[in-house]
Amino acid sequence: MSSETNLMYVDGHWVEADSGKHFEVKNPANGEVVGTAPSGGWAEARRAVVAAARAFPAWAALPAKERCNLLLHVGYEMQARKEQLARLVTLEEGKPLAEAEAEVLYAAEFLTWSAEEAKRVPGEMIPASVANKRILVLRQPIGVVAAITPWNFPFAMITRKIGPALAAGCTVVVKPAEQTPLSAMALFRLFEEAGFPAGAVNLVTGDPAEIGKEFLSNPQVRKLSFTGSTEVGKLLMRGAAEQVKRLSLELGGHAPFIVFEDADLDRAVDGLVACKFRNAGQTCICANRVFVQEPVFNAFSAKLADKVRLLKVGNGLEPGVQLGPLIDEPALAKVRAHVDDAVRKGAKALCGGRPRLDGDFGKGHFFEPTVLTNVNTEMKIAVEETFGPVAPLIPFRSEEEVLAKANNTPYGLAAYFYTRDASRLFRVMEKLEYGIVGANDPAPAVPQAPFGGYKESGLGREGGRYALEEYVEIKNVSIAI
C-alpha cells in the first residue's frame, strides 16, 4: 500500500498533516508495517470541523430520501467489496479473515439500516390546553458530530456512529484509532465515490489527545460520540461539561456469562467459545467472568477446554485460523499479567496460559487460548476487563448468589446466561443490570437492536431506531393562532 493514498479526508479533499509527518500502522501478527497515516493534530481537526459546519445546513435540508440513497450506496459498495475490505481489517487489526468479512457486512448494515431509518424521523402535534394554540414537536439534527472510534472493529465502530448521524442530517468528523486508520480511509473513499457533498464526512488521523481537545473545545461540535476505554471516556465526559456538549459513550464491560445447571451444556460451550474467543477476546461485550453452577461445573469445564484446545492460532490471513494476535504489546502484557496474577493466587489453567513465542509467533502478539479454574474474586481477572482469549471459570450455588456476583461491578454493558427454564429466563433477564443481555444467545449485537451500557459502561444507545434519537434535538414550538 503506497503512502500517497494514506491521507486524511477533509472538506472533500485527501490531505496530508500540516507537518507532513506520518505514523506507521503495523500488522499485529508479525510487526510488519502495512501502511502509514498522517500525524494530524488540532489544526487539521479544526479545519475538518469548520468544513462539517459549513456543509451542515445543506445536508440537513436534503430530503431524507436523498440522504438515504447516498448511504445505501456506500453500504452496498461495502458488501460488494467485502473481500478487499476484510483483508485490510486482518492486516491492521489481526482478526481472522472470516471474522473480518463478517465485520464488513455488519458495518455495511449500520449504513443500510440507518439509511432506511432516515425516512422515519417524524415530528408530532400535541393537543394544547386552550383552543387557540397548537403545539408542534420537531426533531432536528444536532449539527456537527465528532466521532472517536477504537481499533477492535475498524469499520463497524465508525459506521455504527456515522450511519445514524448522517441519516438524521448531521455532518461528521471521525478520528479512528491509531492502530487501524487504513480501514477508515478505505471507507471514506467509498463516501467520496458515492458523491457525498464536500464537508459532510471528514476523517482526521493523528494525536488523539490534541484532536480530542479540539472536538471538546470547539463550539461548532455539537455532539461527541466515543467508543473506547472507560478511562478516556471519563476524561472526555469531564471535558464535555464545559460546553454541556451532547455525549454518547460506549465504554468498557465486564460481562458475566452464567451457565445454570439446567442449561443445554453443549450449546453453552459453543456459545462461550463464540462469545469469548471472537476477535481474540477483544470486544467490549466479550464474556469476562464465566459463572457455572456447581453440579455441572466439571462437565462444563472439561467440554470447554476440549474445544478451546483445538482453536487454531495464527496469522488471520492463513486459511483455517480461528484466533489471531492481540492488537499490540501492551495488550499482550495485560493479558499475561492477568493470567500470571490468577495463577499465582491459585488458579489452574486447563489449557493455554502463556503467550505464544515459538517460531514466527514471536514476531506478533499471540496468547494461547486459555481456560482457568479455581478463580476467585481476589484475582485481577475477576474484577477487571482482560480483553484477551482467557475464560476464567467460577462456580456458584444459587441463582440469587450468581445474580449478586454478576451485578457486583461498576460495569453494565453485556451479560449472558444459559438456561432451559422459562421462568428463570424471565427472572434473570430482568435482574441483570446490563444494557445488553444474551439469553442462550452469544451474539446479541445486531444493527437493528439497541447497544449500550448501564452504569460506567456508558451513555446513550447505538443501533436501531434508538441510534437516530442520539443525533436529534427536540424542539417544542408553541403556536398561538
* Residues contributing to the site for ligand ADP (CB under 6 A): 148-150, 175, 177-178, 208-209, 212, 228-229, 232, 235
Of 93, 101, 103, 250, the catalytic one is: 250
Nearer to ligand ADP, 12 or 208 (CB): 208
Of 275, 284, 286, 351, the catalytic one is: 284
Least Å distance, CB 387 to ligand ADP, is: 7
Nearer to ligand ADP, 291 or 451 (CB): 451
Least Å distance, CB 201 to ligand ADP, is: 17
- The Cα 252–Cα 413 span in angstroms is 7
Q: Residue ranges of the alpha helices (H) in 228-328?
A: 230-241, 265-277, 294-309
Nearer to ligand ADP, 175 or 245 (CB): 175
Least Å distance, CB 68 to ligand ADP, is: 28
Nearer to ligand ADP, 172 or 347 (CB): 172
Least Å distance, CB 180 to ligand ADP, is: 9
Nearer to ligand ADP, 141 or 364 (CB): 364
Q: Which residue is nearest to ligand ADP (CB)?
A: 212
Handedness of CA 469, 475, 476, 481 (dihedral sign): negative
Q: How many CB atoms lie within 10 A of CB 132?
A: 8
- 303 closest CA partner among 273, 279, 333: 273
Annotated active-site residue 170? The verdict is no
- The Cα 93–Cα 87 span in angstroms is 10
User: Can you spell out the DSSP letters for 176-229?
Assistant: --TT-HHHHHHHHHHHHHHTPPTTTEEE--B-HHHHHHHHHH-TTEEEEEEES-
Least Å distance, CB 438 to ligand ADP, is: 22
CB 166 within 8 Å of CB 200? yes
Handedness of CA 380, 383, 387, 391 (dihedral sign): positive
Nearer to ligand ADP, 328 or 441 (CB): 328
Least Å distance, CB 255 to ligand ADP, is: 16
The greatest distance separating any two alpha carbons of the chain, rounded to the nearest whole angstrom, comes to 82
Q: How many CB atoms lie within 10 A of CB 192?
A: 15
Cell readout for 25 is 500502522
CB 475 within 8 Å of CB 121? no
Nearer to ligand ADP, 209 or 449 (CB): 209
Cell readout for 324 is 489471531
Q: In Å, how far are 67, 94, 141, 269 from 108, measured between CA atoms? A: 15, 20, 22, 30
Least Å distance, CB 22 to ligand ADP, is: 16
Handedness of CA 389, 361, 336, 226 (dihedral sign): negative
Residue 205 class from Cβ within 10 Å (0-12 exposed, 13-18 middle, 19+ buried)? buried
Annotated active-site residue 284? The verdict is yes
Least Å distance, CB 261 to ligand ADP, is: 36
- The Cα 7–Cα 22 span in angstroms is 9
Nearer to ligand ADP, 232 or 432 (CB): 232
The DSSP H or E segment spanning 289 is strand 287-293
Q: DSSP character for 284?
A: T
Nearer to ligand ADP, 150 or 460 (CB): 150
Q: DSSP character for 391?
A: E
Least Å distance, CB 372 to ligand ADP, is: 23
* Strand 144-148, strand 13-15: pairing: unpaired
Residues with a catalytic annotation lie at: 250, 284
